[in-house]
């Protein structure tokens, strides 16, 4: 059972449960039944769950799958225009571009205000005892206003 289907069916059943409990609650008030206030709580809770499932179903986006992409943890995100991910030292070269595209495609617009976001992939290289240097191995720019990803030329470590 897929998540969107589960959310849709849960929303429907919780809404129906809330409706039935609501009708039962109204009847309980007319006949002065002792459990009327418990029914009010159960009705509100089931309607709240139904609304929450509906909102989550509207906002749910399944994870992006790109052939050849490897998992890279995000180590820095300034929340605006720069995201940096960390690759392991034995990261294969053929997985750099797909991994960058997967990371860039997973970015949400949120507080970035339609900015162009630089997504970088880096390795950490040891240059001495206790000293390391980050090496940028790939970069793409994600334009959140047009939902496009542009590959950057390889001039990363000249800065």
Cβ 105 vs Cβ 130: under 8 Å: no
pLDDT at 37: 94
For residue 159, pLDDT over 50 is answered with no
pLDDT at 20: 97
Give the angle subtended at the CA of 44 by the CAs of 43 and 47, to the nearest 5°: 85
How far is residue 86 from each of residues 4, 46, 122, measured CA to CA in Å?
32, 43, 5
Question: For the whole model, what pTM was predicted?
Answer: 0.66
- What confidence tens digit (pLDDT) does each residue in 37-95 have? 999 999 999 999 999 999 999 888 787 888 988 999 999 988 888 899 999 988 898 99
């Amino acid at each position: 059972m897929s998540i969107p289907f589960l959310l849709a069916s849960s929303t429907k059943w919780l809404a129906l449960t809330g409706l039935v409990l609501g009708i039962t609650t109204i009847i309980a008030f007319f006949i002065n039944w002792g459990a009327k206030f418990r029914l009010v709580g159960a009705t509100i809770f089931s309607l709240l769950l139904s609304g929450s499932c509906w909102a989550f179903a509207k906002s749910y986006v399944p994870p992006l799958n790109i052939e050849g992409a490897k998992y890279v943890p995000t180590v820095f995100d300034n929340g605006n225009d720069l995201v940096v991910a960390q690759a392991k030292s034995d990261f294969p070269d053929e997985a750099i571009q797909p991994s960058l595209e997967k990371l860039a495609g997973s970015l949400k617009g949120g507080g970035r205000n339609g900015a162009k976001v630089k997504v970088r992939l880096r390795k950490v290289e040891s240059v001495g005892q206790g000293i390391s240097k980050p090496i940028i191995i790939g970069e793409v720019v994600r334009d959140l206003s047009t939902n496009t990803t542009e590959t950057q030329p390889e001039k990363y470590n000249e800065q």
